[in-house]
A and B are shown apart, each in its own frame.
Chain A
Amino acid sequence: MQNHPVFIDNDPQSEYSTLNLGPTHPATHGVFQNVLQLDGERIVSGVSTIGYIHRAFEKIAEHRPFYQITPLTDRLNYCSSPINNMGWHMTVEKLLGIQTPKRVDYLRVIVMELARISDHIICNGVLGVDTGAFTGFLYMMEHREAIYEIYEEVCGSRLTTNIGRIGGFERNFNTIAFAKLRKFLKDFPVALKEFESLFNRNRIFVDRTKDVAAVTAEDALSYSWSGPILRATGVDYDVRAMNPYSSYEDFEFEVPVGTNGDVYNRFLVRNEEMWQSMRIIEQALAKLEKEPSDIFHADVPEFYLPPKEEVYNNMEALIYHFKIVMGEIDTPVTEVYHSVEGANGELGFYLVNDGGRAPYRLHFRRPSFINYQMYAPMSRGMLLSDAIINMSSLNVIAGELDA
């Protein structure tokens, strides 16, 4: 593989045809433009153009207090917003030295693993759609809906969740949330089993995906890949296992790895991760029973917004509310890098703080951005139809790509 994307040959004598794949194309599931040079159906070279939905989140974040940056993180990988939210909260908690209670950690783990499942449902479902099998996608949608209903019970919203606060959650999980969670845990394995039996040994699907876009571990590491697509190449790098956050060290789970990093391996790794997520959620529910059920945030009045009733009726709460909103509490002057295992890779937050209410500099290490840059070089020599399913299997989310 060549190191860098080769520019399209602009020679007028060239017999290659040029194709604009995107920016909006039904098969690319998002705003992705690739200018491809084709020899018949085979891709000779390609250049990716990104940035169509760039929204300057890093610039905006320099002008927002910490708790107002959470909604920005929602809009990075909007298929699994809760992971981004939690990653941001944990970054700020690390900066401020806040120790969250175990119950908060376990609740966060539940929400993050649900988000991982919902993200993988989309990715693997869409991969099925692109290979011609619509059934799996529609069938699994029902269970993504079940996950979104759990989010609704926890925080009130569905897609861009803004779930949790710095120090914990804005309110406790209600009984309906737990009931829905238990129902999901009962229903989903049945559906996932059927989903796997639809695809795993399906002749058409295997023919379309096996040995397509195979990537070696060396290439993947050189391109700084992370997440399921890196693990599909055989590298067992998972932030949850390597640098546990939010008490992941208390849980037992496997890190599934593939062998040759092709589209089929990525599919299998994501499927297995969903099983592992289920396992983690079940363990978390069991652990929650041993924790006091009324704790849902850390005791940090300087940073955790008090409930509104208390603000109106309680002197201290009013003072803290005012101080938090006006940003009058000093924060440490330092820098922190914190990363979580997002649904498609290592989601990192590099926060430089100058002691004020807003970050001096905030940089998101966005896995989609970094994973996507191999797309054009690796497409060379590939069939156009293979390049389409390769893009689906990379699980690049436009919001995270462009930030």
Chain B
Amino acid sequence: MGKISNEELLSKIDAQFPGQLTSTGEPFGLLTLETGREQIIDILTWLKNDAVLQFIYLTDITAIHYPETEKPIGVIYHLHSLVNNVRIRIKVFLTDSDTHIPTASGIWNGANWMERETYDFFGVIFDGHPDLRRILNVDDMTAFPMRREFPLEDPNRVDKKDYFFGR
């Protein structure tokens, strides 16, 4: 089967979900869309089950933090249609006070740990997730370490003072 062009892909999605997604460009040929959390599960389900598009493969779920913006936490989905060999990236931005988003683990089993990792590092709460616990960090950690304000090194440690290492 031939490759679906990004314009074709975008027009198909637009026809199905009019006005609910905005395209933010296609860096390096990878169509990037932005949407809200209300319709994200509908969109993902439709993309997976559509007979032509067949985005059956969930490549990755991750997040990003832009502390200066109004909606600082972005959840990023990478999907891959193995049949058409085309990828798509979907972003959902959330406010700092309300980081809830529905889980995709009902669509792909593989989303389970990816969402746990995203929760662990960014504090995104995936509603409906069967087992939303920390995964790589210790269970009693209170911070979300991949947020920008979390320092790389403990600012209180004394063994790395400037006068020792000229830093």
Binding site for B on A (CB under 8 A): 3-5, 50-51, 54, 56, 58-60, 62-63, 94, 219, 221-225, 235, 237, 242-243, 334-337, 339, 346, 348, 350, 352, 360-361, 363, 365, 369-370, 373-374, 377, 402-403
A residues in contact with B59, CB < 8 Å: 224, 337, 339, 346, 348, 365
Residues of B within 8 A of A60 (CB): 152
A91 CB → nearest B CB, Å: 10
A-B contact count (CB 8 A): 95
In the assembled complex, which residues on chain B have CB atoms less than 8 Å from the CB atom of A237? 57, 82
Instruction: Indicate if B56 sits at the interface (CB-CB under 8 A).
Output: yes
Residues from chain A with a CB closer than 8 A to the CB of B146 are: 58-59
A54 engages B76 (CB within 8 Å): no
A370 to B138, CA, bound (A): 20
Chain A: CB-nearest residue to B91? A335
Taking a contact as CB atoms under 8 Å apart, the answer to whether A363 and B60 are in contact is yes
Beta-carbon contact of B136 and A337 below 8 Å = no
Contact of A4 among B56, B112, B134 (CB under 8 A): B112
Q: Are B28 and A94 in contact (CB under 8 A)?
A: yes
Task: Please tell me if B108 contacts chain A, counting CB pairs below 8 Å.
Answer: yes
Known: A337-B78, A348-B59, A373-B110. A51 touches B135 (CB 8 A): yes
Chain B residues numbered 83-140 whose CB sits less than 8 Å from any CB in chain A: 85, 87, 89, 105, 108-110, 112-114, 117, 121, 130-131, 134-138
Q: Is the CB of A59 within 8 A of B145?
A: yes
Complex-state Cα separation, A50 to B113, whole angstroms: 11
Contact of B64 among A224, A361, A402 (CB under 8 A): A361
Q: Is B27 an interface residue (CB 8 A)?
A: yes
Whether A243 contacts B152 by the Cβ 8 Å rule is: no
- Provide the B2-35 mask, 1 if CB < 8 A to any CB of A, else 0: 0000000000000000000000000110101000
A402 and B135 alpha carbons, distance in the complex (Å): 9
Q: Which residue of B lies closest to A377 (CB)?
A: B109
Cross-chain contact B136 with A370 (CB below 8 angstroms): no
- Enumerate B43-71 residues with CB–CB distance to A below 8 Å: 56-60, 62, 64-65
Bound Cα distance from A360 to B32, whole angstroms:
18
Q: Which of B76, B110, B145, B150: most chain A CB closer than 10 A? A: B110
Q: Are B28 and A235 in contact (CB under 8 A)?
A: no
Indicate if the CB atoms of B113 and A222 lie closer than 8 Å. no
Inter-chain contact B62/A222, CB cutoff 8 Å: no
A370–B110 CB distance below 8 A? yes
Contact of A5 (CB < 8 Å), options: B78, B82, B131, B152: B131
CB-CB under 8 A from A50, the residues of chain B are 135-136
Give every chain B residue within 8 A of A62 (Cβ-Cβ). Answer: 152
- The smallest C-beta distance from B111 to any residue of chain A, in angstroms, reads 8
Complex Cα distance, B58 from A395, in Å, reads 21
Residues from chain A with Cβ under 8 Å of B138 in the complex: 51
Q: Which residues of B contact A361 (CB under 8 A)?
A: 64-65
- Per the bound structure, the CA–CA distance linking A360 and B136 in Å amounts to 21
Contact of A350 among B78, B105, B109, B110 (CB under 8 A): B78
Our pick among B32, B87, B108 for the contact of A224 (Cβ within 8 Å) is: B108
The reply to whether A224 and B28 contact each other, CB–CB distance below 8 Å, is: no
Which one, A221, A363, A402, contacts B62 given CB within 8 A? Answer: A363
Nearest A residue to B145, CB-CB: A59
* B110 A224 Cβ-Cβ under 8 A: yes
Nearest B residue to A56, CB-CB:
B145
State A335–B25 Cα separation when bound (angstroms): 11
Whether B137 and A54, one on each chain, are in contact in the complex, defined by CB atoms closer than 8 angstroms, is yes
Residues of chain A with a CB closer than 8 A to B105's CB: 3-4
Measured in the bound complex, the distance between the Cα atoms of B27 and A237 in whole Å is: 24
- Chain B residues with CB under 8 A of A377: 109
B64→A374 contact, CB < 8 A: no
Contact in complex: B108, A222 (CB < 8 Å): yes
